[in-house]
Chain A
Amino acid sequence: MSAILIAIAAAVCVVSGIPALLGPRGSRSACALSTTVLILGSLIGLTGVVLGLTGGVTALTARWTIPGAALHIRVDALSAFFAAPVFVLAAVGALFGEGYWPADSLRAGYVRAFYGVLAGGLAIVMVAQNTILFLVAWEVVAVSSFFVVVTVDENENVRRAAWLYLIASHVATLALFALVAVMHDVTGTWELTRFPAGTGATGAGAAIFWLALIGFGIKAGLMPFHVWLPGAHAGAPSHVSAIMSGVVIKMGVYGIVRVLTLFGRPPAWFGGVLLIFGIVSSILGVAFALAQHDLKRLLAYHSIENIGIIVTGLGLGVVAGAQGMPAIAFLGYAGALLHVWNHSLFKALLFLGAGSAIHATGTREIDRMGGLAKRMPWTAAGFLVGAVAICGLPPLNGFVSEWLIYIGSFASTQRLAGGWTDLALIVVAPALAVTGALALACFVKAFGAVFLGEPRTSEAADAHEATASMRAAMLPLVVGCFAIGLLPAVIAPAVERAAVVAGAMRGTIVASLMPVQTFALVLTAVLAVAVAGLWAKVRRAPRRLTWDCGYAAPTPRMQYTSSSFARGLVAFFAWAMPPVKHEPKALPLFPAHASLETHVPDTVLDRALLPAAERVRRFLFISRHVQSGRMQTYLVYIAATLVILLVWSAQ
């Protein structure tokens, strides 16, 4: 039943954009109809997800004319687990889009059409059992997400980011073609089936692992394959960024997990490699995020960080599983999977909140906002919940998944045998600690500079609260963050079922989450009562200017900027991300105009890939002489080729 429901839901999502696309231009009812259809489709899909997470495995097969291919989908707990955020985010994103990208704005039908195709394709990726069907759905997602990212193609930055995304997507697809070919070679079938025992130790097994890591890693935004991610996520409309960051990059994670399950018990070195990529992505992802001035780029880099945490959890699971520590391995898998859900919830919440702030102020620059909490209190509250959650702080959901990975890594250090994979395990705890502390710095900076203090520009001062549909879209995400944070033991059975499939092992986390749940509930209750008490006591207190050593006329420009706030930490990471500074060389005696500008380019993209690509392009310039564009020259080429072939065949 779950397979049928998810298939129907995917089909409904794909066609949901038709009314908006074909209806009269600017028609509000057509757009509202599209959104309603998409939300209904998502609800059907969520029903299927719930059945898939609670019941047994279901499948649906239909013949397909392409050789080797079959319309074969199969819903087990792992697929259902990854499909859940697809439907949740598709629905809330569409609802947000009604206010954020209304019917009378640019290309309203176009956005809704490709958004629906994207959502439907995503659902199929998570449940496809046939590799050809998987690749087709993968490509549908890649192309449709390219079209929504490039919506505002008048903007040159958006065009560049979208092209980069398209290229990166197709490099990933290329790796997946090779992956599917090798997998077919090993199993002899185009279906996703277990590899023969011992494949992990063979060259083919290693090839499968590396191809999966590169192909899926590009999509997931794992460092150093993340180059496309910041630009594409920043350039897309905000509700699209939410779904891109919340679920599109999760297809990469799903792919890695799914391929690992095919190995049965993957060798320890797979896990060691995952740990290294995970730790590097999490620390450097958040370091780059700290250096951003653009709110959406900042959030995009945080996706790299969170994918790093997820992959670290997976690595922990693989290593511990291979070393005969199933209880610890289960913690790793469960933590990683729960973080998939958590990241979808709080990252979507943050992108929607950021979208509202950008909508209200007309800028993405953090230092041109400020004081928005007074002007848009609902949005500020939603963003604050997302910020606390993404920092992994109790009592919200981010803490629960990080806690599982943490105690897994702590427990593993009690029984380490030696070897480099075990050393990588020891680094997990301090690496997560640094990541967490940096994320906290980054979100205090973002929340503080955008929502607190005084407005830094007149646009920020005139900001207005987001529309009802935009605020309504944030509500389910806030509820989700609180629900998983306060009642982790209640949702744990769903995570356990998915982790059982992912790690091919039994285990439980409900019992260990019970005290965390009690603690979170009591802490929240005490905090709520105490804050309400203090508020009641000082609510009527007189209001005066902020203390500035007796200065009576402070201006908003005297506030600490977000760049100053992050400066110390950015300087600390200058070895990995050298900042670029434009400052006046020497100032005259009485300087009238002076400007200072700093930004931190992406090290991999701007300092390695683009210069390398430029060099390749220059080298290939040589071939331009061959292409003269004159018919006679081409005739000479043809004649010369014929002569050469004649001589060659005569021998």
Chain B
Amino acid sequence: MIALQLLLVVAFSPLLLGVINRTKAIVAGRRGQPLLQAYYDILRLLRRGTVLSSTTTIVFLIGPVVAIVVGLAASLMLPLTGRTAPIAFTGDVLVFVYVFALSRFFTTSAALDTGSAFEGMGAAREVTFACLAEPALLLGMVALTRLSHSLSLTRLISVGGAEWRTASAALVLIVASWFIVLLAENSRVPFDDPNTHLELTMIHEVMVLDHSGPAFALVLYGAAVKLFVFTALIAIMITPRVGNAAADAALILAGVLVIGIIIGLVESAMARLRLVRVPQLLITATLISAFAVVLVLK
């Protein structure tokens, strides 16, 4: 069960990046890179050699490892087949949130380990925006706890037709808020532009400037898995269940791809926000979640 789900996540995650990039290419009227480009990149990097900065310590290597391990651990808490997730217990929602915080601690520390001003700047932005994104995520979870009477992520996000009929307004608000969180946590437009070439404006990309070879492959893979996990979190909420594990998994993955296309459309339609505007959008997400809590409390 654990091995199957891990295999699914490992095999599927980089495809999501391909879908987003292909969507953006089509909207822009280009043919775009191959759908499987992320897989090629990761495989090539794994074979490449490494150059380390002479400033760095082992913390520099802990960052990429924690990022991918944590992403995979969190993915095991998602009910990707419609059944109970491989890791499910009362209170696992908070483990889910906090393992990503652990990853943030070490990826930002790895950035500071290089002593580079660029990477320090990216790390500062990463931790700053997380302070605003985290309450939005948690308030959404509070609202879902009240709806599902459960503290386990499996029950929490497996909202069915009954909940969608009785509490549709709150659920729409949670999905909207979490979509903003998804974009912020994964450094997508309008928070960060994964395609930018100017170090001064980057967040995630600038933190990994000094990584190379296998370590950089882990960074890329970790980012892909994290994007997949956050997308699947929303996809599980919005897709229906048919009761068959394979069919449910297919529905959820289809939902992930649809959200990928939406992310691509968002990135095509708007530019990156000015950095001073970013907190405002994140506070909006928090307020949307807070409204969802108010709705379920009434």
Contact = CB atoms under 8 A, between A and B. Distances in A.
Interface in B72-116: 73, 87, 89-95, 97-99, 101-102, 104-105, 108-109, 112-116
Interface string B44-62: 0000011111111111011
Interface residues of A, number: 75
Contacts of A430: 135, 138-139, 142, 286, 290
Contacts of B290: 430
A406 B91 contact: yes
Interface in B179-215: 199, 209-210, 213-215
Interface in A435-473: 436-438, 440-441, 443-445, 447-449, 452-454
B117 interface: yes
A541 B101 contact: no
A547 interface: yes
Contacts of B116: 546-548, 554, 559-560
Contacts of B31: none
Interface stretch (B7-15, B143-151, B166-174, B260-268): B143-151
Interface stretch (B123-131, B228-236, B247-255): B123-131
Contacts of A403: 91, 94-95, 98
A436 B101 contact: yes
A151 B199 CA distance: 49
B91 A560 contact: no
B279 interface: yes
A384 B106 CA distance: 10
B225 interface: no
A568 B124 contact: yes
A399 interface: yes
Given A452-B109, A544-B51, A437 B130 contact: yes
B66 A527 contact: yes
Contact of B131 (A373, A438, A554, A556): A438
Contacts of A452: 57, 59, 109, 112-113, 115
A531 B199 contact: no
B65 interface: yes
Contacts of A554: 115-116
Interface string A553-569: 01010111000111111
A560 B102 contact: no
B229 to A, nearest CB: 15
A106 interface: no
B125 A546 contact: no
Interface in A495-553: 512, 515-516, 519, 523, 526-527, 530-531, 534-535, 537-538, 541-549
B61 A534 contact: yes
Given A448-B123, A545-B54, A523 B73 contact: yes
A538 B62 CA distance: 12
Nearest to B76: A519
Contacts of A370: 115
B104 A449 contact: no
Nearest to A404: B91
Contact of A393 (B61, B91, B98): B98
A545 B53 contact: yes
A548 B99 contact: no
Interface in A384-398: 384, 387-388, 391-394
Interface stretch (A165-173, A217-225, A306-314, A411-419): A411-419
Given A394-B99, A437-B101, A448-B108, A454 B115 contact: yes
Interface of A: 370-371, 373-374, 377, 380, 384, 387-388, 391-394, 399, 403, 406-407, 410-411, 413-414, 416, 426, 429-430, 433-434, 436-438, 440-441, 443-445, 447-449, 452-454, 512, 515-516, 519, 523, 526-527, 530-531, 534-535, 537-538, 541-549, 554, 556, 558-560, 564-569, 572
Interface of B: 49-59, 61-62, 64-66, 68-69, 73, 87, 89-95, 97-99, 101-102, 104-105, 108-109, 112-121, 123-125, 127-128, 130-131, 134-135, 137-139, 141-142, 145-146, 149, 151, 199, 209-210, 213-215, 218, 279, 286, 290, 293, 297
- The 10 A-B residue pairs whose C-beta atoms are closest, nearest first, are A560-B120, A448-B112, A453-B115, A515-B89, A441-B127, A437-B131, A541-B50, A430-B135, A543-B54, A407-B91
